[in-house]
Amino acid sequence: MAGKNVVIAGASGAVGVEFMNVLEKMNFPMASLRLLATKRSAGKKLQFRGEEITIEEMTPASFKGADIALFSAGSSVSKEYEKHTLSAGCVMIDNSSAFRMREGTPLVVPEVNPADAKKHSGTIANPNCSTIIMLMGVYPLHRKYPVKRLVVSTYQAASGAGWAAMEELKDSTRAVLDNKPFTPQKMPYPYGFNLFSHNTAIDPQGYNEEEIKMVKETKKILGTEKISISPTCIRVPILRAHAESINIEFEGSAPSEDEARKLFADFPGVRVVDDRSKNHFPMPLEASGEWDCLVGRIRKDISQPDKGLNVFIAGDQLLKGAALNAVQIAALL
């Protein structure tokens, strides 16, 4: 591939840093890389391929001459800068929720619906981290055994809310251990040794925004309204990498456990961790920093063994749940 002029918007954030790490590790072909952030972060220097790159303040003119812009700066910033990005002839790959459900904007997981990336009109949306990780634990089976219903419970790490939440988890944990009072700033409740419903607004039906994203985004990515999805999203005191327990009901007969393991093992981006003898299954600690999602606890649903299967998956929210998926989209282009 010819080298591309790449811009990272939100370069100083947790996902922005991982954009750089993935681009370097993937040896993505680049003619140039520019780093953009707010005025507060402008002037800071970050390492890339052995050289220092200075972060610039993002302005409407920042995208002139760029081919690809990787955005992780929040929905409001993405909405504000989309027109400037596209008018510069630059493709926007956006990690926020701003455009995910907009008609005509592709929502892409490269292992699942790569062809959709080519249908863009300038903007491609990166799905929610929980949706991506769930699909990596469902789609390898769904291709051969169509899924009827999913019941999913998430165990979401602090990394999903950025650096500030990760630091707050550390501080909150220290406070509990030291028997000191702690007032949360980023999260609604003390995070150390605690868990709570995902910190997004609750709708009249009692579902939070994260749960509704999983429902709507999954149907858009798979191109079907037939799959029923019942999610429960929970924040847990883990620094990095989300985990999900997924109960899968199939339209017809469920695959055997051995066939499910093979389908997962043959699927790119998935690694089977399913050792019953050692009680060794996917863990956030082992998924952290990994490009693959770890899948295990593969077992028949004993309430309906002919139709159902249970799996457990762990994936790095900052990588496959965000930066890696976005760079993979860029590679598709």
Catalytic positions = 129, 242
H-run or E-run covering 35: strand 30-37
Residue type, 37: A
CA dihedral 216, 98, 138, 145 (to 10 degrees): 50
| 255 contacts: CB under 8 Å, gap ≥ 6 | 141, 144, 145, 263, 309
Cα–Cα distance, 112 to 223 (Å, whole number): 11
Contact criterion met (CB below 8 Å) for 7 and 34:
yes
Distance CA 231, CA 260 (A): 22
User: Within 13 Å and on the Cβ side, how many CA atoms surround 169?
Assistant: 20
For residue 25, give every residue at least 6 positions away whose Cβ sits within 8 Å of its Cβ, in sequence order, or none: none
What secondary structure does DSSP assign to 258-325, as a single string? HHHHHHHHTSTTEEE--BTTTTB---HHHHTT-SSEEEEEEEE-TTSTTTEEEEEEEE-TTIIIIIHH
